[in-house]
Amino acid sequence: MATPTVVLVPVWGAGHLMSLLESGKRLLARSVRALSLTVLVMRAPTEQLAAELSDHIRREEASGLDVRFVHLPAVAPPTDWIGIEEFISRLAQMHAPHVRAAISGLAAPVAGVVLDFFCSSLLDVCRDLAVPGYVYFTSNAAMVAFMLRLPALHEEVPVEFEEMEGAIDVPGLPPVPPSCVPTPVTDKKNPNYTWFTYHGRRFAEVDAIIINTAAELEPSALAAIADGRCTRGVRALTVYPIGPVISFPPPPDQPHECVRWLDAQAPGSVVLLCFGSGGFFAAPQAREIAHGLERSGHRFLWVLRGPPAPGSMHPTDANLDETLPDGFLERTKDRGLVWPTWAPQKEILAHAAVGGFVTHGGWNSALESLWHGVPMAPWPLYAEQHTNAFRLWPPWALPWR
């Protein structure tokens, strides 16, 4: 009889794809029964993302693990979207016929289907095919608790969260200030809010939720989910905290230039400023940061990205001459490095010279910093980062918005 397979359905972003794939590889390594992995690959919506996705897949195919990649037919992406959360959710939903056909056509029996949380609409496919359906959540248990609570909050709070009096009640969390809700739900008229409410409602239907967190890190939020306090009137959910899930690719043959620069710095002497794959600053704000770094007198490594090009979703490489104050690079050349493009954050955080991390607070970055024992100062920008910061730092330390 063919070895059963677990089907993974990620979205294309590296922070989602690699985390889900790494969790699947852990399952292969630790399962008491023989299993394989089948990864259903949606075509990325931009050429840049498509190239990055192809690189990831090539590396995994060369690893020798029992992982098969099935490329789904291309789907014309929506053109009338407002926010990235809406775009991803709608595009995932449009893949439903292809996901159904791909799973139905597998020769191996399907042990279960694990969906990225943006793909909760594909739970209908699991039900149609009578296979177990799971959601993999790349962020933390606090965010899962909030999303499970969101459909009820939608009925209980008729105004925008920022207009309500007092804090928001989410079981397993301290009272949540309205300023700390995820950015997609700050405007109830926005389709992103509608989609987050939809996902929270669908999460209550899954066979289990798999979360990239550790039981020791979020015991109260995990207990609230498992006890059914986040989904009153609905069955309690099975939840599996399996984190921290962090992929560590082999080091390159030649160290990155940022790593070589760190080699010349004293232990714990450098603060890293890095704001994730979607974080950027326009010139006026970048200049203010530069003034602060210069006046601080401290050593720094600043990964600085520029605003996306028109029609793009991704930051551009920063033009340092146009973005930074005149003479800044020359005045700080002996104690700072500004890097205007992608940088290997995990390698940098692992370096002994890094003593602090100014971060956007994305969950992958937070886990990497915790893993390497680097203190963090959060500067949340978008998505669930304000909620992450609320969980990782006391509320009085949150001056944003």
Q: Which of 56, 95, 98, 116 is catalytic?
A: 116
Determine whether 298 is an active site residue: no
Alpha-carbon gap, residue 215 to 54, rounded angstroms: 34
16 as an active site residue: the answer is yes
Alpha-carbon distances of 248 from 25, 213, 241, 252, 258, rounded to whole Å: 13, 17, 20, 11, 18
CA atoms within 13 A on the CB side of 354: 27
Amino acid at 206: V
Rounded CA-CA distance 13/15 in Å is 6
Q: What angle do CA 180, 183, 189 make, to 5 degrees?
A: 120
Catalytic member of 16, 56, 199, 360? 16
Within 8 A by CB and 6+ apart from 355, the residues are 267, 268, 269, 270, 271, 374, 375
Three-class HEC string of 295-362: HHCCEEEEECEECCCCCCCCCEECCHHHHCCCCHHHHCCCCEEEECCCCCHHHHHCCCCEEEEEECCC
Q: Which two tokens stand for residue 88?
A: 């991803």
- The whole-angstrom separation of Cα 42 and Cα 10 is 8
DSSP 3-state of 393: coil
Residue 379, token pair as written in the block: 């500067």
Residues annotated as catalytic are 16, 116
